[in-house]
Chains A and B, each alone.
Chain A
């Protein structure tokens, strides 16, 4: 079980980083069409959601100041986003936190949430949440005429 959950976390994080690796700050902030959130938002949103929902297991999990206002669901327009390098570091920190949860918490531990019932389902939820936004990032990459990375 642990290996499967860790695979989900590591494979999605590596795809996020591959999707961000060749972007300039300007490209990460560009909004190609009203209603689409820029790539830096997609990455910051993943980092925020990872930290937000990890709190249901461990209350020490915390996104940086300002992240809730910038990256919660429903935001995403032009804003004063942090540099992409900072967002990547927050993602890496969140990853370490989640991996520690997988390694130390029984996946059957019940949790109170509408979206998952226990610690294992929390990790599954965060993995597919990441996958969804990786898809959006890659459509945005296409609009920026960046090379296609995945299927």
Chain B
């Protein structure tokens, strides 16, 4: 068993493969734009905002992996944007999330052990992280939000 095996298993189980609890894609399954934009309270985030938030940080991970680490403060400033639109626009974001995750997985599959256990410059000017630890965190971030989304759905009765 290798680090890569562990990582790919973690990415699969948190994003798309149904095991004990629903992964992120299943937590989003069947939602309409109207349901995705619903908030439990005005100051809370909607499911759609959560999806945009995950896309935002996954893009940052991909940029870092490809040698262009983003600026952390800029990332924070661009986080948690409002989201609205019709079902077609909602599906564009869901698809963007799927495509980004597939790209991250492709990079992991193509990487060797040295790359995965080596340092990754995650953000400009900040301390490096081991690539495998960064990617484990990204996958755990997915399942964390899957749990949130399940309860936001439950609050709507969907």
- Answer whether residue A142 sits at the interface, using C-beta atoms and an 8 A cutoff: yes
For A136, the closest partner residue in chain B by CB is B147
Say whether B154 faces chain A, with CB atoms less than 8 Å apart: yes
Question: CA separation between A138 and B141, bound complex, in Å?
Answer: 13
Shortest Cβ distance from A139 into chain B, in angstroms? 4
Residue A77 at the chain B interface, CB threshold 8 Å: no
Is B101 interfacial (CB 8 A cutoff)? no
Closest A residue by C-beta to B53: A151
B143-A131 in contact (CB<8A): yes
Instruction: Select B150's contact among A1, A108, A118, A136, beta carbons within 8 Å.
Output: A136
Total chain B interface residues with beta-carbon distance under 8 A = 38
Q: Which residues of A contact B10 (CB under 8 A)?
A: 124, 127-128
Main secondary structure of the interface of A (DSSP, over half): helix
B148 at the binding interface (Cβ < 8 Å) = yes
| Bound-state Cα–Cα, A107 to B4, Å | 13
Minimum CB–CB distance for A35 against chain B, Å = 6
Could you tell me if A135 and B137 are in contact, using CB atoms closer than 8 angstroms? Answer: no
Inter-chain CA distance A11–B136, complex, in Å, is 10
B31 to chain A, nearest CB (A): 16
- The interface residues of chain A lying within 8 Å CB-to-CB of B133 are 4, 7
A115 and B19 in contact (CB under 8 A), knowing A1-B1, A4-B6, A120-B1?
Answer: yes
Is A143 an interface residue when CB atoms closer than 8 A count as contact? yes
> Which residues of B have CB within 8 Å of A56?
none
Q: In the complex, how many angstroms separate the beta carbon of A48 from the nearest chain B beta carbon?
A: 13
Please encode chain B, from 12 to 27, with 1 for each CB lying within 8 Å of some chain A CB and 0 for all others: 0110000111000000
